[in-house]
Amino acid sequence: MSDSGTLGTESPVESASFQEQAAHYEALVETMKERAAEVRKGGGKEKLDREHERGKLTARERIEYLVDDPAAFGELGLFAGYEMYEDEGGCPAGGTVMGLGPVSGQECMIVANDATVKAGAWFPITAKKNLRAQNIALENHVPIIYLVDSAGVYLPMQDEIFPDEDDFGRIFRNNAKLSSKGIPQISAIMGSCVAGGAYLPIMSDEAIIVEDTGSVFLAGPYLVKAAIGEDVEKDELGGATTHSEISGVVDHKVEDDEAALDKIRSIVDHSGPVERFGYARKEPVEPAYPADELYGLFPAEGNAQYDMREILARIVDAESWTEYKEGYGRTLLTGYARIDGWNVGVVANQRAVVRNRTDLDSKGEIQVGGVIYADAADKAARFIMNCNQKEIPIVFFQDVTGFMVGKRAEQGGIIKDGAKMVNAVSNSTVPKLTVVVGNSYGAGNYAMCGRAYDPRLVLAWPTAKIAVMGGTQASKVLKQIKVRQLEKQGKELSTEDEQELLSKIQNRYEEQTTPYYAAARLWVDALIDPHDTREWLARGLDMVDHNPTLERFNPGVIQT
């Protein structure tokens, strides 16, 4: 066992396997960056140029102008909608740019409609992305800024975006909830703002409108004509002068985009004191080993073994690691550490093969890395309770293929111990952050604080795979189901036909487990370069500290 505080070893950087793995991972990151650059083009150069011709900044230019330091803007949901709406011409980044950035020294959530993508119209994923932005603001008490420029709901898909609890209308409900909690909301109407979407900026604390380009109304001129037969011009109906001098709907009228963004900065600058919870933090210390070694430490194959301690050693502060129950439940690592000075609890899947002691005389049974066994689940549940008792945030590192199965596991009560861990994660009230570094399968995703378990931030590496089970197992099961269906229809498949069917199923399943598929559906908040993991977690830990309240931890009935 290692001494308390020490974690990791020197990397074999000169070895062929290390260099091969590093080259493989570097290629994955390069692909991710290329795809990200393509997404950031929005609707393309022609539409970007058209915005400039209209005297408008683009969504990304607005954010760059607004934040104190463009390099400090942490974009979330970049791959939202990725390859999801090909028949509709695509919806890059879900038609919205969203992320965290400092404005007048205050960390803020910023949401900007991208008018180059279908005139900023709302697709189903656009609503989901905006709701995620509001939830982050609600959970962490960070101000939220809306840069509104949208034609409203994308009508061809209105049935998928309008009425449900996670659809468009929930946004205005959240406006009201944010306001009731005293979380600042500031809106700038920098283009179209129509129909139900008109409520978003007007339900904010303060609303700004840009002269000539900004407009806000429940129904545009054409709809007014159709509904009541009235002829009215756009500016008279909902222009800047109408709403700043006649209706009083907006609070500030400005001449251009830059003036609107300057006004937002001034409003934020005149805010009251920022309350914090005060989670424990000491002077940050760099990790014991450099983050640029992470590429070479992570295996190219998703089922290969590696020591998660080596990964953690390149993320957490040096000499800050205190492991909890090191000799017990070894397929999970639990321990206290610091990340950029912040005290945290760490729950991480151990991917190395380990031995579990069953008695004092034997060497114990071999346990497969990445699988959660009963003893590991038992350990994790108790550790999570300890973190709540100590009031420290928890960081989960996922590379999990699921819970152990089979007669021995079932008779040993794996469901009971797994339920105990899921209960502890579900009822945990301290902030939780999750990093998916590799596999995230089945109930392992749940127990390790997947999206459904309220992590404040979910980050994923390019090697992340999220699915109900691994591709090989799932494909074989799906093939067996299909073969039986065909047999019932009186059809028999040759060995070659079965292999072709299996290949098709495997290809489709593998496509659905890529990190891009997960990011497109906002199962994760951001795909990140492993080198940036510590920076992202530090930002997340600072963000969660903005919420000065913490509910009492009450795990309810625990299976024992």
Contact predicate 466/445, CB 8 Å: yes
Looking at residue 475, its pLDDT comes to: 61
Condensed to tens digits (0 to 9), the pLDDT of residues 180-200 reads: 999 999 999 999 888 767 889
More confident residue, 382 or 301: 382
Q: In this predicted structure, which of 127-131, 420-424, 478-482, 527-531 has the lowest mean pLDDT?
A: 478-482
What number of other Cβ atoms are within 10 A of residue 37's Cβ?
9
For 347-381, what is each residue's pLDDT tens digit?
999 999 988 877 776 777 888 999 999 999 999 99
Of residues 555 and 208, which shows the higher confidence score?
208
pLDDT of 298 > 50? The answer is yes
Of 326 and 490, more confident: 326
Phi, psi for residue 220 in degrees, rounded to 5: -75, 175
Q: Give the DSSP letter of residue 552.
A: P
pLDDT digits (tens, 9 = 90+) for 13-36: 999 999 999 999 999 999 999 999
Question: In whole angstroms, what is the distance from residue 252 CA to residue 270 CA?
Answer: 15
Instruction: Give me the pLDDT at residue 471, please.
Output: 63
Strands 332-339 and 322-323: antiparallel
Q: Are 536 and 74 in contact (CB under 8 A)?
A: yes
Contact predicate 337/316, CB 8 Å:
yes
CA distance 10 to 22: 15
Contact 129, 170 (CB under 8 A): no
Could you give the count of Cα atoms lying within 13 Å of 490 in the half-sphere of its Cβ? 0
Residue 135 predicted with pLDDT over 60: yes
1 pLDDT band, cuts 50/70/90, is: very low
Q: Give the separation between CA 80 and CA 525, rounded to whole angstroms.
A: 9
- Please give the share of the chain, as a percent, with pLDDT higher than 90: 75
Helix (H) or strand (E) holding 443: helix 442-447
Contacts for 413 with CB less than 8 Å, ≥ 6 apart: 374
d(CA 404, CA 160): 38
Instruction: Please give the pLDDT value at position 2.
Output: 46
Spell out where 29-90 has E strands: 74-76
State the chain's mean pLDDT as an integer. 92
Angle at alpha carbon of residue 525, lines to 520 and 531, rounded to 5°: 110
Q: In terms of Cα–Cα distance, which of 166, 162, 105, 113 is closest to 135? A: 166
Measure Cα distances from 509 to 373, 436, 486, 503 in Å: 26, 19, 20, 10
The alpha carbon dihedral of 69, 71, 72, 74 has a sign of positive
